[in-house]
């Protein structure tokens, strides 16, 4: 077969569609790091010049050196491990409760009337104001700390999942009835996929609140964890350890948020066409 025949055999490119050019690196991503780095440089300069006393706020270099020291002797890794376990257990309990209650309330009027008023009343209570009651009910062990995290997680996940379920297009339900899908199949193939985007928003909010709740919980009658390390350092005016603990909390929060964002990109890859 001649070359001209091969050219004729190839499918012609569709009109109006140009080959996609390789994606160039986005300078906006690098630009977002300019202001944080500038703040660190200014912070270090003020500390080195003596304008920012060590007793008020340790210098970034001092904080980094303290972090390396605590990492080498195992103090930091042990504290991180304890805090991550508490946050994970509280998140699992609160997440399961939030999604389960949202399904009960979102799938029927009876469930909504039974669950939603109670959830709305509990949501109005100040989370950290419940700490004395939690200590009275559960003592000063792990239970009140995990319970406080779980309580902080349940409400954002419930509200967003409930809104996602109620926001599913009713026409999809009509299609499911035409196809003679049972209630279980309807929930699995229509309701849950339709509510997933809103539920993932609630998941990100819940993770942020979980770390905030843990910070407070671990500074009350705790003998281990990042909060205990921060509280103990405060007694000795070790601002380097205090800031180090806060930085670790922030890093853990960003890491968990990044995991959820990755999950969101995988689960909602069909939305990429709207973002081009």
How far is Cα 98 from Cα 153, in angstroms, rounded to an integer?
8
CATH of the domain at 187: 1.10.3720.10
**Residues 94 and 154: beta-carbon distance below 8 Å:** yes
1 has pLDDT over 50: no
The predicted-structure confidence for 82-108, as pLDDT tens digits, reads as follows 999 999 999 999 999 999 999 888 888
Of the two residues 31 and 69, the one the predictor is more confident about is 69
Copy the structure tokens of residue 262: 């990755």
Task: Supply the pTM of this predicted model.
Answer: 0.75
- What is the pLDDT at residue 7? 47
For 9-20, the DSSP string reads HSPPPPTT-PPP
Helix (H) or strand (E) holding 115: helix 109-123
- What is the pLDDT at residue 3? 45
Q: How confident is the model at residue 68 (pLDDT cuts 50, 70, 90)?
A: very high
**Residues 175 and 137: beta-carbon distance below 8 Å:** no
The predicted-structure confidence for 166-191, as pLDDT tens digits, reads as follows 887 667 666 666 666 666 666 776 77
First to last CA, the chain: 41
Across the range 117-121, mean pLDDT stands at 90
241 has pLDDT over 50: yes
Residue owning tokens 């180090």: 244
For 121-143, the DSSP string reads HHHTS-TGGGHHHHHHHHTTSHH
Does residue 111 lie within any of the structural domains? yes
For the chain, what is the domain count?
1
Does residue 15 lie within any of the structural domains? no
The predicted-structure confidence for 2-58, as pLDDT tens digits, reads as follows 444 444 444 454 544 445 555 554 565 577 778 888 888 898 888 888 888 888 888
Does residue 276 lie within any of the structural domains? no
What range does the domain containing 88 cover? 57-269
DSSP 30: H
Does residue 35 lie within any of the structural domains? no
State CA 198 to chain mean position distance: 14
Does residue 28 lie within any of the structural domains? no
270 has pLDDT over 70: no
Which residues lie closer than 8 Å to 9 by C-beta, 6 or more apart? none
Does residue 47 lie within any of the structural domains? no
Does residue 44 lie within any of the structural domains? no
Does residue 216 lie within any of the structural domains? yes
**What b/e sequence results for 33-57 when a residue is b if at least 16 CB atoms lie within 10 Å of its CB, and e otherwise?**
eeeeeeeeeebeeebeeeebeeeeb
Helix (H) or strand (E) holding 271: none
- What is the pLDDT at residue 195? 79
């Amino acid at each position: 077969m001649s070359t001209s025949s091969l050219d004729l055999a190839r499918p012609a490119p569709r009109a109006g569609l140009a080959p996609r050019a390789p994606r160039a690196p986005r300078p906006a991503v690098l630009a977002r790091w300019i202001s944080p780095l500038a703040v660190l440089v200014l912070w270090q300069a003020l500390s080195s010049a003596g304008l920012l006393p060590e007793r008020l706020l340790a210098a970034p270099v001092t904080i980094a050196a303290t972090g390396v020291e605590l990492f080498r002797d195992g103090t930091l890794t042990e504290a991180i491990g304890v805090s991550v376990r508490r946050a994970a257990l509280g998140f699992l309990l609160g997440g399961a409760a939030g999604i389960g209650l949202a399904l009960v309330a979102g799938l029927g009027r009876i469930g909504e009337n039974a669950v939603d008023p109670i959830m709305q009343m509990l949501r109005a209570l100040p989370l950290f104001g419940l700490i004395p009651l939690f200590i009275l009910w559960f003592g000063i062990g792990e239970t009140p700390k995990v319970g406080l995290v779980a309580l902080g997680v349940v409400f954002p996940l419930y509200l967003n999942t409930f809104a996602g379920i109620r926001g599913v297009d009713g026409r999809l339900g009509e299609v499911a009835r035409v196809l003679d899908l049972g209630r279980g199949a309807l929930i699995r193939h229509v309701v849950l996929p339709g509510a997933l985007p809103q539920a993932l928003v609630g998941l990100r909010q819940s993770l942020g609140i979980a770390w905030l709740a843990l910070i407070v919980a671990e500074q009350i009658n705790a003998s281990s964890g990042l909060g205990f390390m921060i509280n103990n350092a405060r007694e000795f005016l070790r601002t380097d350890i205090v800031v180090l603990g806060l930085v670790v909390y922030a890093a853990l929060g960003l890491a968990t948020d990044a995991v959820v964002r990755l999950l969101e990109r995988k689960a909602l890859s069909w939305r990429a066409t709207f973002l081009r």
